[in-house]
Every structure is written in C-alpha cells, then in structure tokens.
C-alpha cells in the first residue's frame, strides 16, 4: 500500500484493519493523491495527530561527536528479548531455530492477519549472548516501536528522513509518481546544511530511495566502516548495515545460521569503534528495522481514528498506529548502566536524538513532536568503560591441560643462595723430571753406568 504523506500536516502512520484490496496506488482515483515531493494536504487533515511527546534531554554539551545507527533485520522484541530479566517480554514462547525454516510474511497484509499468521517463537540468551551482555552493561529499550506496520524500506526511510511515502516495499507496476527516488527532506541533508558530515555503510538499498543521497561519495560498503574507524575517522552520523549478516531469516532453504553470525558481525563493528579510540565521544544505537513476521505481545499505540464521514467505508473509523515493537540497545559512555527504558520510543526518536545533539531543526511535524531518547542517558555520570569483546560464534572452547592463556606472570623474589659447595681437593703435583746429564743427546735415553764389583761378598 502506498501513501503520499502530507507536508502541511503530520502524516498517518498506517492503515490498521483496512481491507488490503483497497490499495491506494492510482493517482487518478477519488483519493486525489498529489505527485510526491510537492506540498499537499490530499491525504487528509491530521492536525490532531501527535506522537507521544518525551521529556527534554540534558544537552550533551560537546560530549558526543559521533552517532552510529546500526540497523539489523526482522525481529520483534519478544522474539529476541522476551526472556531478558526485568523487561516487558513474553518469556513462554517456543524456542526458535537458527536458521528459521522460512522467512515469515511481514508486509502490511501479514500484519493485518497477524492474529493467525505471526510466528510465536523466540530466541534466548544462549542464541544472542552479546546482545544480552550489552543490555546488562548499558541500556535496553522495551517500549520502542517501528513506525510502519510493514516491511523494510518504509521503516528504513523513517530512520533517515522521519517520513515514508511507502506502506510496503516498492513493487513493479506501481505508478511512476509513486516510485522512488522520493523528494524527502532528510537528516543527511540537514547535517550537510549545518556543515556536518554523514556516511552510509552498506545502505545503498535505502539511500537510493531519497533524491540527492546516492552517488556522492558518502555511500560505502559495510567493510569500509572498520577501515575508517581504525583511522579514527567517523562522521557526525553513520548508518551501518550488513549486506550478508543482517540476521534476516533466509529466503530459501539450505542456509546456515543467521542469528548468531549476525550478532557477531554487530559485535565486530562495536569493537571497531572501541579499537579506533572513538568510544569516549560516540553513541551507538542497535535496532531492528521491522517485525519480520514474529509475534510480540505488546500492541502498538493507536494515534487516532480515520474520520467517519467523507471517506470510503473500508477506511471509516479505522485506526492509525505505530508499527510493531522491536528492540533497541543504547551503547555509550553516557548511556545509563543496566537500565531498561520504559519510555515510549520509535525509529524517529533516533532522528530526533541526532537533531538534539547537533542542534539541527526538525524535518517535519513527526520528529518535531518525537521523543529524543533522553531518558537513556546521563551526561553527568562517570563515563562508562567500553563493552568487552563479544563471544565468537559456535561453542565456547574448553581450556586444555595446563594454565589458561593470559598475561605473563610477574617474576617472583630471587631464591636465597644456599651453602657454598666444599672445594675439591687439589690434585697432587707431578714429580719433577730428573735433570739430563751433560752432553747427552736430546731425545735419547740415558744409559745406566756399569756396576762396579765389590771386593767383599754380599751378605746372604
């Protein structure tokens, strides 16, 4: 389903309980959609629309120079964090397999049919230990919602522009004026106007949908992120995606695990920030783009109802609400330690945080009224140390015989000298050789003189 969001009033979030057959895809219908990119009140007057407004944040006052938004794929809060202690989760769901046997349907029609079609399964700490460790050390949001009850692209656009003309991903056959790229006011454009830099790593599939954000040397492969951080080089705001380790369930059979390797990829990116010396002035948000067809026991908030008069019967009295609940982890020296945020947050809250941190204006009425994640931070606290390196995929290796590897032991005290050994007896000197007789030839033996005969006989 496609919507042309109005620039003169806050746009609706999605049609809840609307007949999917009533698709708004034709600009010439009685719905009177204006071409995208032009100011229009064609959708309806929505002056009453207002997202839940959060508290005002404590200014970072130059403490934050870099914001990294890591966007993973397709898991609800209950599917990942339902068993986390103290969180508002359903911990009694069946254990999910890694990889899942199929990719659950998760477009808008699947959302409308979620009562019968959502997959009631979940992962546990054994499957995603690093995410649980981050939640214990920093902040986990258990009241964080997507903006659109549908699939990837609409929610990705919300994370960049706080707006989306799409209900589902773009499809072939859509009218030309309803196809990307869209002329949206975006956070990257606002950063540039303020003289600040931005980059997308692995996000071409998102940024190509917004006019002016592609082909300008700011879109890189995800592998470039670790190269840039190694040089201590990060822009004010980075959007980071994995092309192959996004945790998205496989589209077909035969794939290996996706959850554990995807988690490890995230750990590697966090570690790259730390190793590059960027941790002291960085905030890292880790969130999931959409619900992925998984069950979550918390229904999103209703914003308002469609007017009863003047619209097709299938729309009358239907409700506008946020999309399904997903997890969001907040890592920073100034993120509250061991904190579970119960405040209402959404994808647009991350846009609002960037605007608050860098002194940028709002993009539209949605982010103007949005919460800015302020309850997740304490900028007066002693800066928290960086997270420790995460576990490697697979079983934990068992230590073999002998001491476990670690730092070399410090040398101990020198042993005291024992008693001196007794000296060996000196060898007896060899007898001096006899003097040679005069005139004797050298090298010849001396002959004994002949015996003289005695006159007297010897005694017997």
Provide DSSP, 323-368: --B--EEEESTTBPTTEEE-S-EEHHHHHHHHHHHHTPPPSSHHHH
The confidence score (pLDDT) of residue 39 equals 27
Name which of 111-125, 363-377, 414-428 the model is least confident about: 414-428
Q: Residue 205: what pLDDT?
A: 87
Q: What is the pLDDT of residues 5-24, one digit of tens each?
A: 333 333 333 333 232 222 22
Domains and their CATH numbers in the chain: 15-376 (3.40.720.10)
Q: In the prediction, which pLDDT does 112 show? A: 84
- CA atoms of 327 and 340, how far apart (whole Å): 11
Rank 43-47, 101-105, 304-308, 358-362 by mean pLDDT and report only the highest: 358-362
Ordered DSSP codes for 420-444 = PPPPPPPPPPPPPPPPPPTTPPTTS
Cα 419 from Cα 126, distance rounded (Å): 60
- In degrees rounded to 5, what are phi and psi of residue 329? -105, 140
Sign of CA dihedral 308, 310, 312, 313: positive
Average pLDDT, integer, range 275-285: 98
Residue 152's nearest CA partner among 263, 251, 264 is 251
* Predicted confidence (pLDDT) at residue 304 exceeds the cutoff of 80: no
Other beta carbons within 10 angstroms of residue 342's beta carbon come to 12
Name the β-bridge partners of 353. Answer: none
- Quick one: 202 exposed, middle or buried, by C-beta within 10 A (0-12, 13-18, 19+)? buried
Read off the pLDDT of residues 183-236 as tens digits, 9 standing for 90 and up: 999 999 999 999 999 999 999 889 999 999 988 889 999 999 999 999 999 999
Averaged pLDDT score across all residues of the chain? 77
Residue 149: pLDDT band (50, 70, 90) is: confident
Residue 175 or 267, more confident: 267
In angstroms, the CA 342 to CA 301 distance is: 14
Q: Tell me the two tokens of residue 63.
A: 């403490």
Q: What pLDDT sits at residue 456?
A: 42
Helices (H), 128-197: 129-137, 152-161, 187-193
140 closest CA partner among 337, 350, 323:
337
Give the tens place of pLDDT for each residue, 56-86.
444 566 899 999 999 999 999 999 999 999 9
pLDDT tens, position by position, 385-405? 999 765 544 333 333 333 333
Phi, psi of 100 (to 5 degrees): -65, 150
pLDDT of residue 345: 98
Residues 6+ apart with CB under 8 A from 281: 63, 64, 65, 66
String of b and e for 77-87 (b: at least 16 CB within 10 Å)?
A: bbbbbbbbeeb
State residue 260's pLDDT score: 96
Q: Is 47 left (phi over 0), alpha (psi -120 to 50) or beta?
A: alpha
Q: What is the pLDDT of residue 48?
A: 34
Q: What is the pLDDT of residue 166?
A: 73
Residue 414 reports pLDDT greater than 50: yes
């Amino acid at each position: 389903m496609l919507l042309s969001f109005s620039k003169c009033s806050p746009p609706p979030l999605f049609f809840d309980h609307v007949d999917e057959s009533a698709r708004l895809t034709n600009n010439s219908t009685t719905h009177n959609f204006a071409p995208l990119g032009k100011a229009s009140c064609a959708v309806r007057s929505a002056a009453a629309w207002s997202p839940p407004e959060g508290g005002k944040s404590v200014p970072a006052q130059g403490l934050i120079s870099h914001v990294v938004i890591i966007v993973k794929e397709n898991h609800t809060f209950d599917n990942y964090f339902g068993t986390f202690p103290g969180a508002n989760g359903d911990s009694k769901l069946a254990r999910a397999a890694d990889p899942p046997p199929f990719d659950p349907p998760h477009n808008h029609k699947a959302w409308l049919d979620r009562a019968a079609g959502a997959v009631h399964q979940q992962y546990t700490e054994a499957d995603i230990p690093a995410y649980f460790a981050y939640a214990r050390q920093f902040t986990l949001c258990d009241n964080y919602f997507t903006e659109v009850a549908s699939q990837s692209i609409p929610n990705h656009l919300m994370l960049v522009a706080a707006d989306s003309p799409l209900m589902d991903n773009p499809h072939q056959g859509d009218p030309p004026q309803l196809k990307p790229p869209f002329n949206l006011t975006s956070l990257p454009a606002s950063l540039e106007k303020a003289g600040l830099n931005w980059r997308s790593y692995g996000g071409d599939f998102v940024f190509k949908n917004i006019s002016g954000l592609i082909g300008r040397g700011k879109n890189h492969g995800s592998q470039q992120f670790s190269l840039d951080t190694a040089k201590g080089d990060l822009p004010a705001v980075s959007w980071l995606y994995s092309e192959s380790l996004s945790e998205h369930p496989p589209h077909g059979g035969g794939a290996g695990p996706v959850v554990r390797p995807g988690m490890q990829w995230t750990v590697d990116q966090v570690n790259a920030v730390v190793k590059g010396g960027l941790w002291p002035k960085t905030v890292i948000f880790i969130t999931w783009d959409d619900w992925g067809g998984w069950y979550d026991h918390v229904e999103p908030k209703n914003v308002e109802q469609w007017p009863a008069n003047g619209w097709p019967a299938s729309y009358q009295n239907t409700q506008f609400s946020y999309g399904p609940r997903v997890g969001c982890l907040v890592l920073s020296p100034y993120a509250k330690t061991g904190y579970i945020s119960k405040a209402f947050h959404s994808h647009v809250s991350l846009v609002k945080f960037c605007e608050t941190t860098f002194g940028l204006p709002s993009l539209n009425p949605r982010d103007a009224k949005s919460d800015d994640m302020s309850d997740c931070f304490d900028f007066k606290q002693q800066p928290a140390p960086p997270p420790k390196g995460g576990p490697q995929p697979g079983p934990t290796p068992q230590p073999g015989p002998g001491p476990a590897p670690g730092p070399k032991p410090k040398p101990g005290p020198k042993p005291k000298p024992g008693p001196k050994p007794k000296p060996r007896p000196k060898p007896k000197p060899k007898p001096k050789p006899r003097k040679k007789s005069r005139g004797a030839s050298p090298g010849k033996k001396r002959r004994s003189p002949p015996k003289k005969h005695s006159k007297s006989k010897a005694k017997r």
